[in-house]
Amino acid sequence: MNKVVVHLKNGEIAKGHTIDFSPGKEKFHLTGMSDPLCNEEISLENLKAIFFVKDFKGDFLHVDSHDFSKARVSGKHIAISFYDGEILFGISEAIHREKMGFFIFPIDPEANTERAFVINSFIESVDIVE
């Protein structure tokens, strides 16, 4: 079971667990933290991104490093600009702009995010960082 934080295009955030997320599927189910018997169907077209996290609390005092030399994975060093103004730095092995989205991995090994799936329809630009 994956711990996820779901960011919707409308700015809402939901936390819970999922066992059926797949980049090739249009929908997945989110089991909420408050009611483990309640499964909400989430459509990928309504998402900004889904973050797979180590824990739900996170460390709000932690500032993510943008030092690509500290990353635990290899791939393209990128900066994603979303339509809401947020910029997300990370590493991706494959940027699929023609598909629903693609995975990105954090640069900072101490980050709470293990990986994220970003949705192309909410991405303004993807820039390669040298």
The per-type count for the chain, helices as H runs and strands as E runs, is 0, 10
Per CATH, domain 2-55+63-128 is 2.30.30: yes
Q: What is the mean pLDDT of residues 111-126?
A: 95
Q: How many Å apart are CA 61 and CA 54, to the nearest integer?
A: 16
- Per-residue pLDDT for 58 more than 80? no
Q: What is the mean pLDDT of residues 84-93?
A: 93
- Going by pLDDT thresholds of 50, 70 and 90, the confidence category of residue 130 is confident
Sketch the domain layout of the chain as residue ranges.
2-55+63-128
Tell me which of 4-13, 44-53, 55-64, 94-103 is least confident: 55-64
What value does the mean pLDDT of the chain take? 90
- Could you tell me the strand order of the sheet in which 76-82 lies? 87-92, 76-82, 123-128
